[in-house]
C-alpha cells in the first residue's frame, strides 16, 4: 500500500469566547495511521475531532482533507433517524452499494438486447460494475451485514430507534459507521456502554482497519491494542508520540525525569532572582526588564506545572482487623430471576477486590447487601468489628447542583479530619485538583468528570478503612485516573471496586468477583487477566453458554 | 519510541524514517511547516502550498501538470543595496534566479544550484531559512498547459567582486539597485523580495 498524507491541520486555533482552547496545531496524518487522542478533560479533544469531522467550522487556520477522502464520525451522542427502525438506519450506510447491485443486474439485462456503440458503452460500464461488486464484496452484502450486527450485538432489526437506550443507540451508530467504511474514521469514546466481548471485537476490527483511525477513549487497554500513535492535547498544544499508551507512559516518565532536574534548576533560579529582586528595588525600575520578565515567566511556569502534580490520598481510617468481609452461601434474586447463587468468599485485609460483569447482573445489589441496605434471600454476610465502610455511589444522587463545588465537598465543615491531622476545607478540596475558582463553581455547571471528583472528595472525607467504589473511573480523564489509582494502591485498608476499566482491573486488583449471569458469581485470586484465562477453561469445562456471539472475532468485510 | 524527531514534523503514521512515503517531499513539507509567515498573505500562501502538496504528492516533478515546486534566491552582495536579477528569456521580465526542483526536496540546495548556474558565481552562500513563498500561474507554452509554480525563496550571498557569467536561459544579467527597481519591467513579488532583504 502506498501511503499518502490524507489530512492535515495547519496552525489550527480555536477559541471559546476569550479562551484559546487550541493554540496553533500543525499535524499531518498518513493513510492507515491509528492515533489515540489523549489529554485532560476540557483540553479540546472532542473539539479537535469535530473540526476534523467538518462539523465545527468556527476556527482559525486550516483543516483539510485530501480531495475525495471520506470521513466518518461517531460523536458521544450520535444522531440516528428517529423515524426508522434499527435495520433501516443501518441500511442507510449501504444505499450506494444497493444501487451498484441494482444497476449491475439492470446492465446485465440491457446487454442482451444492445448492439454496436451502445453495447460497447454498456460493456465498459458492466466491467466497471463487476469490479465494484468484487472489490466491495457486494455479492455477500447480506451475509456480512448480518455478521456486523451480531458482532456489535445490535438490538433486533425491527426495533424502533427512539425506544433504544443510549448504549444501544451507540451500537447502531457504530455499526452503521463501520459498514460505511470511511477512509478516515473518527471515534469519540467508542467503548462507552460496550461489554467486554464487543470491546475485544472492536479492538481487533480497528487494529486491522485499512483506513486512518483517530479516537478519543478513556480505555487504556483499547489504546494499547489499537493505536500506533498518540497525540497529547495539553494547554492548547498537540504533542505527537509514537507508540501505544504504554510507550507513551514510558516516554512521559522519561520527560518527567528530565523535567524534574530542570525544575530543580528553575527553583534555584527563582530563589536567586527573588533575592536579587528584593535587594535592588531601585535597579528594578530602571533596567533589566528582561530579567524581571524572565522571573515572571518562571513563576508562571511553575504555577502551570503544579496543576499536573496533584497527589490524592484517601484519608486513612482506623486499623483494619483480620476479619473484613465474610460471605457465606449467599443467594439473592428477584422473582424468578436469580442474581447470586450460593456465593462464598472472604475478603482479606488489604485486598483490592475488582467486581466485574455486565450491567443488571446484581453487582450493585451485592454492594447494597454488604452495606446492610438489602437482605439476602439466604446465607449471610459478616462484617468485621473494626471495619468502617465508605461507599461511593454510582448514581451520584446526593450531590446538590445549586451548591458550589466547595459546599458539596465539605457539607459545611470547614475543617476536615485527615489521617491524624486536620485540613482546611480549601486545602482538602485542592487535593482533588479543585483550585481557587473551580471550588466556587456551581456544581450544575460541572462536567461529568468533575462531578465524579466532587463525589470522590465528599465520600472519602468520612475516612473509613474499607471503601466501596461503584464505577469510579467513569468520565475521569486519564490524569485523574492515574491519581486515583495511586491513591487506591497506597490505601492502607481494603477496597471493593466495581469497574469496566480493564487497565484498572489488571494493575490494581488483587481479587476478582465476576458476575457471569444466571446466578453464577466467581471469586478469583488474581488480576482480571488471569481471571479471563481461567474463565476460558471454566467455560469449556462447564459448557457455560456464551452470553454473546461477539467473543470470537470475525471480520465482516473482505 | 520517542517523539517524531526525524525531520517529519508532526507526521502521523510513518513507523520510522525509512517508511516515510517520500522523504524528498517530506523535506519540502518540513521546510514549509517550519517557515514562520511574516503576515497573513504569507500564512495563506503557506497553507495553499501545503494543501497543493497533499492533493499532488508528485509536485516535485515537472511532469505534474497542475503545477510543481520551484526554488529561487535573491542574491545580494556586500557592496551596496542591490540584488541580482536576470532578464528571463521565456517570460521577458527581470526576475530573481531560480528553477525547478526536479525531484530534489532540499529547497535551499535547489535555489543555490540554480543561482550558481544562472549567475556563474561558484562560491555563493545560501541561508537555509526561506524568506518568502510565492504561488503564481505560468502561462501555457510549447505544448505545456498553464500551470502553477510553487516557489520558495531564499537569500544568497555573493562574495565581494564576484564575476557574473550569463547562462543561455537569460537575455541579460545584472545587479539591480533598490532605487532602480521602479524603472525596470518586473513583478510585485520581486519588489517584495527587495523589501524583505533591505528594509
pLDDT for the residue numbered B12: 76
Which residues of B lie inside 8 Å of A (Cβ-Cβ)?
A: 1-4, 9-15, 19, 21, 29, 33, 43, 46-47, 50-51, 53-55, 57
Superfamily of domain B40-198 in the CATH hierarchy: Nucleoside Triphosphate Pyrophosphohydrolase (3.90.79.10)
For residue A392, how many other CB atoms are within 10 A of its CB? 20
Domain boundaries, chain B: 40-198
Q: Is B15 in Cβ contact with A5 (below 8 Å)?
A: no
Which residues of A lie inside 8 Å of B (Cβ-Cβ)?
A: 2-8, 10-11, 26-33, 35, 61-62, 64, 66-67, 212, 228-229, 231, 238-243, 247, 250-251
Residue of B nearest to A1 (CA): B21
pLDDT for B69 beyond 90: yes
pLDDT for B118 beyond 90: yes
The predicted-structure confidence for A386-396, as pLDDT tens digits, reads as follows 888 888 765 55
pLDDT for B184 beyond 80: yes
pLDDT for A163 beyond 70: yes
Q: Is B1 in Cβ contact with A242 (below 8 Å)?
A: yes
Lowest mean pLDDT among A219-223, A271-275, A446-450: A271-275
| Mean pLDDT value of segment A61-81 | 91
Chain A residues with CB-CB distance to B3 below 8 A: 239-242, 251
pLDDT for A547 beyond 50: no
pLDDT for the residue numbered A52: 95
Query: Which residues on adjacent β-strands are paired with residue A63?
Result: A9
Tell me which range, A314-318, A383-387, A413-417, A543-547, is most confidently predicted by mean pLDDT. Answer: A383-387
pLDDT for the residue numbered B49: 95
| Mean pLDDT value of segment A280-286 | 42
CB pairs under 8 A between A and B: 83
Place of cell 456480512: A144
- E-strand spans in chain B? 11-12, 67-77, 82-88, 94-95, 97-100, 125-126, 132-138, 147-158, 170-177
pLDDT for B23 beyond 60: yes
- Identify the band that residue A282 occupies on the pLDDT scale cut at 50, 70 and 90: very low
Q: How far apart are CA A479 and CA A239, in angstroms?
A: 16
Q: How far apart are CA A505 and CA A527, in angstroms?
A: 6
pLDDT for A554 beyond 60: no
- Identify the band that residue A281 occupies on the pLDDT scale cut at 50, 70 and 90: very low
pLDDT for A420 beyond 50: yes
Lowest mean pLDDT among A74-78, A318-322, A355-359: A318-322
pLDDT for the residue numbered A272: 61
**Cβ atoms of A350 and A289 closer than 8 Å:** no
| Mean pLDDT value of segment A478-500 | 78
pLDDT for the residue numbered B157: 93
- Identify the band that residue B5 occupies on the pLDDT scale cut at 50, 70 and 90: very low
Rounded to the nearest 5°, which phi and psi values hold at B189?
-70, -30
Selected residue with higher pLDDT from A244 and A56: A56
DSSP string, A461-505: TT--SEEEEESTTTT--HHHHHHHHHHHHT-SSEEEEE---HHHH
Selected residue with higher pLDDT from A273 and A127: A127
Q: Is A231 in Cβ contact with B21 (below 8 Å)?
A: no
| Mean pLDDT value of segment A458-481 | 75
pLDDT for the residue numbered A320: 78
pLDDT for A193 beyond 60: yes
pLDDT for the residue numbered A284: 38
Q: Is B10 in Cβ contact with A241 (below 8 Å)?
A: no
- Identify the band that residue A16 occupies on the pLDDT scale cut at 50, 70 and 90: confident
Selected residue with higher pLDDT from A374 and A302: A374
Rounded to the nearest 5°, which phi and psi values hold at A387?
-75, 130
Chain B residues with CB-CB distance to A234 below 8 A: none
The predicted-structure confidence for A422-442, as pLDDT tens digits, reads as follows 788 888 888 777 877 888 888
Amino acid at each position: 500500500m502506498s501511503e499518502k498524507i490524507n489530512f492535515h491541520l495547519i496552525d489550527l486555533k480555536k477559541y471559546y469566547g476569550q479562551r484559546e482552547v487550541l493554540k496553533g496545531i500543525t499535524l499531518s496524518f498518513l493513510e492507515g495511521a491509528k492515533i489515540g487522542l489523549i489529554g485532560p478533560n476540557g483540553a479540546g479533544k472532542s473539539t479537535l475531532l469535530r473540526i476534523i469531522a467538518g462539523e465545527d467550522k468556527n476556527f482559525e487556520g486550516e483543516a483539510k482533507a485530501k480531495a475525495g477522502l471520506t470521513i466518518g464520525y461517531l460523536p458521544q451522542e450520535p444522531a440516528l433517524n428517529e423515524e426508522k427502525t434499527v435495520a433501516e438506519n443501518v441500511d442507510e450506510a449501504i444505499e450506494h452499494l444497493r444501487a451498484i447491485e441494482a444497476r449491475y443486474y439492470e446492465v446485465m439485462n440491457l446487454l442482451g438486447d444492445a448492439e454496436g456503440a451502445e453495447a460497447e458503452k454498456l460493456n465498459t460500464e458492466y466491467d466497471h460494475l463487476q469490479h465494484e461488486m468484487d472489490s466491495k464484496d457486494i455479492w455477500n452484502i447480506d451475509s456480512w451485514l448480518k455478521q456486523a450486527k451480531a458482532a456489535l450485538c445490535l438490538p433486533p432489526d425491527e426495533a424502533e430507534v427512539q425506544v433504544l437506550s443510549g448504549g444501544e443507540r451507540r451500537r447502531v451508530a457504530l455499526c452503521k459507521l463501520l459498514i460505511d467504511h470511511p477512509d478516515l474514521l473518527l471515534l469519540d469514546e467508542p467503548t462507552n456502554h460496550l461489554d467486554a466481548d464487543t470491546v475485544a471485537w472492536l479492538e481487533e476490527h480497528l487494529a486491522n482497519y485499512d483506513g486512518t483511525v483517530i479516537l478519543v477513549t478513556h480505555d487504556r487497554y483499547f489504546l494499547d491494542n489499537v493505536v500506533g500513535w498518540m497525540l497529547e492535547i495539553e494547554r492548547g498544544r498537540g504533542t505527537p508520540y509514537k507508540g501505544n499508551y504504554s510507550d507513551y507512559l514510558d516516554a512521559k516518565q522519561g520527560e518527567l525525569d528530565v523535567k524534574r532536574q530542570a525544575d530543580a534548576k528553575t527553583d534555584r533560579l527563582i530563589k536567586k532572582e527573588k533575592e536579587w529582586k528584593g535587594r535592588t528595588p531601585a535597579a528594578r525600575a530602571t533596567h533589566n526588564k528582561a530579567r524581571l520578565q524572565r522571573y515572571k515567566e518562571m513563576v508562571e511556569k511553575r504555577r502551570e506545572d503544579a496543576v499536573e502534580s496533584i497527589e490524592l490520598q484517601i484519608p486513612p481510617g482506623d486499623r483494619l482487623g483480620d476479619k473484613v468481609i465474610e460471605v457465606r452461601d449467599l443467594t439473592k434474586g428477584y422473582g424468578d430471576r436469580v442474581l447470586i447463587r450460593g456465593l462464598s468468599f472472604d475478603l482479606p485485609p488489604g485486598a483490592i477486590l475488582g467486581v466485574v460483569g455486565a450491567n443488571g447482573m446484581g453487582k450493585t445489589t451485592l454492594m447494597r447487601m454488604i452495606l446492610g441496605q438489602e437482605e439476602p434471600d439466604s446465607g449471610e454476610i459478616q462484617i468485621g468489628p473494626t471495619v468502617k465502610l465508605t461507599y461511593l455511589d454510582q448514581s451520584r444522587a446526593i450531590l446538590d447542583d445549586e451548591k458550589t463545588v466547595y459546599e458539596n465537598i465539605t457539607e459545611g465543615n470547614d475543617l476536615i479530619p485527615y489521617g491524624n491531622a486536620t485540613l482546611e476545607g480549601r486545602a482538602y478540596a485542592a487535593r482533588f485538583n479543585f483550585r481557587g475558582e473551580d471550588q466556587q463553581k456551581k456544581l450544575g455547571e460541572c462536567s461529568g468528570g468533575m462531578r465524579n471528583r466532587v463525589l470522590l472528595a465528599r465520600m472519602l472525607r468520612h475516612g473509613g478503612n474499607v471503601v466501596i467504589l461503584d464505577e469510579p473511573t467513569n468520565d475521569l480523564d486519564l490524569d485523574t485516573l492515574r491519581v486515583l489509582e495511586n491513591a487506591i494502591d497506597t490505601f492502607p485498608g481494603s477496597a471493593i471496586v466495581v469497574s469496566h476499566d480493564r487497565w484498572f482491573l489488571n494493575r490494581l486488583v488483587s481479587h476478582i468477583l465476576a458476575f457471569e449471569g444466571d446466578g453464577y458469581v466467581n471469586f478469583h485470586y488474581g488480576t482480571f487477566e488471569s481471571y479471563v484465562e481461567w474463565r476460558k477453561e471454566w467455560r469449556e469445562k462447564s459448557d457455560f453458554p456464551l452470553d454473546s456471539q461477539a467473543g470470537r472475532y470475525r471480520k465482516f468485510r473482505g | 519510541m520517542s517523539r517524531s524527531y526525524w525531520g517529519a514534523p508532526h507526521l502521523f503514521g510513518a513507523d520510522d524514517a525509512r517508511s516515510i512515503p517520500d522523504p524528498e517531499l517530506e523535506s519540502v513539507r518540513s521546510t514549509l511547516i517550519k517557515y514562520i509567515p511574516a503576515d497573513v498573505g504569507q500564512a495563506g500562501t503557506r497553507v495553499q502550498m501545503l494543501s497543493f502538496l497533499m492533493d499532488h504528492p508528485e509536485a516535485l516533478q515537472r511532469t505534474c501538470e497542475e503545477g510543481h515546486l520551484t526554488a529561487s534566491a535573491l542574491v545580494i552582495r556586500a557592496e551596496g543595496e542591490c540584488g541580482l536579477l536576470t532578464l528571463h528569456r521565456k517570460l521577458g521580465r527581470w526576475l530573481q534566479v531560480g528553477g525547478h526542483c526536479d525531484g530534489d526536496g532540499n529547497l535551499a540546495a535547489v535555489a543555490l544550484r540554480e543561482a550558481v548556474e544562472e549567475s556563474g558565481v561558484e562560491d555563493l552562500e545560501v541561508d537555509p531559512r526561506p524568506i518568502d513563498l510565492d504561488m503564481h500561474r505560468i502561462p501555457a507554452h510549447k505544448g505545456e498547459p498553464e500551470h502553477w509554480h510553487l516557489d520558495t525563496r531564499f537569500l544568497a550571498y555573493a562574495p565581494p567582486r564576484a564575476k557574473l557569467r550569463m547562462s543561455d536561459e537569460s537575455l541579460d544579467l545584472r545587479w539591480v539597485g533598490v532605487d532602480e527597481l521602479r524603472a525596470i519591467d518586473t513583478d510585485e513579488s520581486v519588489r517584495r523580495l527587495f523589501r524583505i532583504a533591505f528594509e
